[in-house]
Amino acid sequence: MADLREVQLDGLIAPTHHYGALSFGNKASMRHAGALSKPRAAAHQALDKMAHVMRLGVTQCVLPPLLRPDLDFLRGCGFEGDAAAIMQACAHDDPHLLSLAQSCAFTWTANCATVIPSTDSNDRKCHFVPANLLTTPHRALEGHARYQMLNAIFKDNDQFIIHEPLPMTPALADEGAANHHRCYNPQTEDFAHIFVHSSAHGMPKNLRPQKYPGRQSKEAQISVSRLGHIKKGHSLLITQEPRAIDAGAFHNDVVFAGCNTHILLHEQALIDQQHFISAVESLVPDMHIRVVSKRDLSLDEAVSCYLFNGQFLSTDNGIHLLLPQQCQAKRPKRVVDQLLKDDFIQAVDYLDLSQSMMGGGGPACLRLRIPLLSEEIDALPQSIVLTEDKLQQLKQWVDAHFRDELSTDDLADPQLYSESKTALDALTQLLGTSSLYAFQA
């Protein structure tokens, strides 16, 4: 029997965490244009979630942030000189470009990559396909840098293959694990990879969203499963319900969640949902698929409370669900209470993730799940694995380097750039990773 365990990889919040309203179709992002952000609180909330996971006995790892602003991007736009000159000129000429370059959306690590575990691939390697994120202008800046960072961390080429992000063409728009889900029955070792898309070559108009962009192409999903060498007959290609996207489910993980044999999804999450359920059940025995009706929770309600972005964790005591506090409102709470009553899940905790939620990211958005064998866990740099000691060090790091508040005007402050560099330099020392950033070369 393969001893496959799901490691949770969460990105650390970066010192320039702010709300730029950069994601068209993500209602929380659009609503919080220009709101004052609280980077320190955001970083603590994210660390508290990681601590929670660690204390449930699940392996929790941390992924360092990217350096912002992305000066190479701004140089590519024609700005010249040192960091201070570039930031100030950009703030004067085109503040929107500066907001893109300062974005910390990489924190939502579910979008970092799609992971295919070694047990599911023909070549028995664990494959990472970093997402190109090309539908949103700020996130399209993440893919290559994340590719380099994943390479630096998952160094063991005998076990891990880090692919380049898919080519930057809209035909291959890819948002990583937010639109991918792996079902797995640990008893029988049956598995299925569910790939959900919202665009495809020749897709009929009635399957396309009318209001907001579909961010994931079918051709990208097929390419990811090809790169990941997924064993034949274990992938399912499914179309996201356009009504869900138009209601604000810009990623499938806003209306669909689960782990192993459990899936929780909204009645209006997918096209031809009954067919989807039968297909999964035929690939993986003993699935528990729970559909929440629109009567119990409308799509609009699902998008505002993020119930389906709950983080499902398989623990020794059963399934533990982490939800944002917004799910304590009457109607979502009633759904959750019923899940507990029916023994669909065994425990739930509600967390304050307000700073992440303001950008449209719930508990599941903040982590990338990496199913690993024990020898693969041993091959990880132990320095990125969270322990009580490391948690305290990271909390002190946040207190030493993060501002309490950040306004849009602060994004032009050159001091913020030096603070970020100092913070990231201190972080690599704390984590004991060798240099991860170009400025450390």
Q: Which residues are catalytic?
A: 175, 251, 365
- The β-bridge partners of 230 are 121
Q: Does residue 19 touch ligand SUG according to CB under 6 A? A: yes
Q: Which is nearer to ligand SUG, 29 or 314 (CB)?
A: 29
Q: Does residue 361 belong to the site contacting ligand SUG (CB under 6 A)?
A: yes
Compute φ and ψ for 40, nearest 5 degrees. -65, -45
Judged by beta carbon, residue 23 or residue 121, the one nearer ligand SUG is 23
Kindly indicate which of the ranges 102-110, 193-201, 331-339, 341-349 contains the residues binding ligand SUG, using the contact rule CB under 6 A.
102-110
Q: In the complex with ligand SUG, which residue's Cβ is closer, 69 or 359?
A: 359
Instruction: Decide if residue 22 touches ligand SUG (CB under 6 A).
Output: yes
The binder of ligand SUG chosen from 46, 178, 280, 423 (CB under 6 A):
178
Taking CB under 6 A as the criterion, the residue among 16, 29, 198, 199 binding ligand SUG is: 29
Q: Rounded distance, CA 247 to CA 326, Å?
A: 18
Distances in whole angstroms, Cα of residue 211 to Cα of each of 22, 25, 302, 403: 16, 8, 18, 36
Which parts of 96-233 are beta strand (E)? Answer: 113-116, 126-130, 160-162, 180-185, 190-197
Cβ neighbour number for residue 309 with a 10 Å cutoff: 31
- Bridge partners, residue 105, by sequence: none
Q: Does 26 bind ligand SUG (CB under 6 A)?
A: yes
Binding residues among 217-256 for ligand SUG as defined by CB under 6 A: 250-251, 253-254
- Min CB(185)–ligand SUG separation in Å: 25
Say which residue the tokens 């792996």 belong to: 182
List the one residue from 103, 223, 239, 240 that touches ligand SUG (CB under 6 A).
Answer: 103
Strands 235-239 and 256-259: unpaired
Q: Which lies closer to ligand SUG via its Cβ, residue 230 or residue 254?
A: 254
Instruction: Report the residue from 130, 360, 363, 371 that binds ligand SUG according to the rule CB under 6 A.
Output: 360
Interface with ligand SUG: number of residues (CB under 6 A): 23
Q: Does position 110 bind ligand SUG by CB under 6 A?
A: yes
Which residues are 385's β-sheet partners? 61
Of 111, 199, 216, 311, the residue at the interface with ligand SUG (CB under 6 A) is: 111
Which of 8, 41, 64, 108 binds ligand SUG (CB under 6 A)? It is: 108
Nearest distance, CB of residue 23 and ligand SUG, angstroms: 3
The residue (of 292 and 391) whose beta carbon lies closer to ligand SUG is 292
Interface residue with ligand SUG, options 11, 258, 359, 371 (CB under 6 A): 359
Question: Residue 388: exposed, middle, or buried by beta-carbon count in 10 A (0-12, 13-18, 19+)?
Answer: exposed
Q: Give the whole-angstrom CA distance, residue 8 versus residue 385.
A: 10
For residue 411, state whether it binds ligand SUG (rule: CB under 6 A).
no
Which of 280, 346, 268, 275 has its CA nearest to residue 308? 268
Q: For residue 9, give the H/E element and its range.
A: strand 4-11
What whole-number distance in Å separates Cα of residue 104 and Cα of residue 114? 20
- Regarding 139 and contact with ligand SUG (CB under 6 A), the answer is yes
Q: Using the rule CB under 6 A, give the single segment among 62-70, 108-116, 151-159, 370-378 that binds ligand SUG.
A: 108-116
105 binds ligand SUG (CB under 6 A): yes
d(CA 75, CA 87): 10
SS3 state of residue 284:
coil
Q: Is 106 in the site for ligand SUG (CB under 6 A)?
A: no
Instruction: Out of 15, 20, 65, 117, name the contact with ligand SUG by CB under 6 A.
Output: 20
- For residue 15, the minimal CB distance to ligand SUG (Å) is 15
Mark the segment that binds ligand SUG (CB under 6 A) among 48-56, 105-113, 142-150, 277-285. Answer: 105-113
Can you list the positions of beta strands (E) in 107-253? 113-116, 126-130, 160-162, 180-185, 190-197, 235-239
The minimum distance between CB 107 and ligand SUG, in angstroms, equals 8
8 Å CB contact between 13 and 44:
no
Sheet holding 262-266, edge to edge: 256-259, 262-266, 288-292
Positions in the binding site for ligand SUG (CB under 6 A): 19-23, 26, 29, 103, 105, 108, 110-111, 136, 139, 178, 250-251, 253-254, 359-361, 365
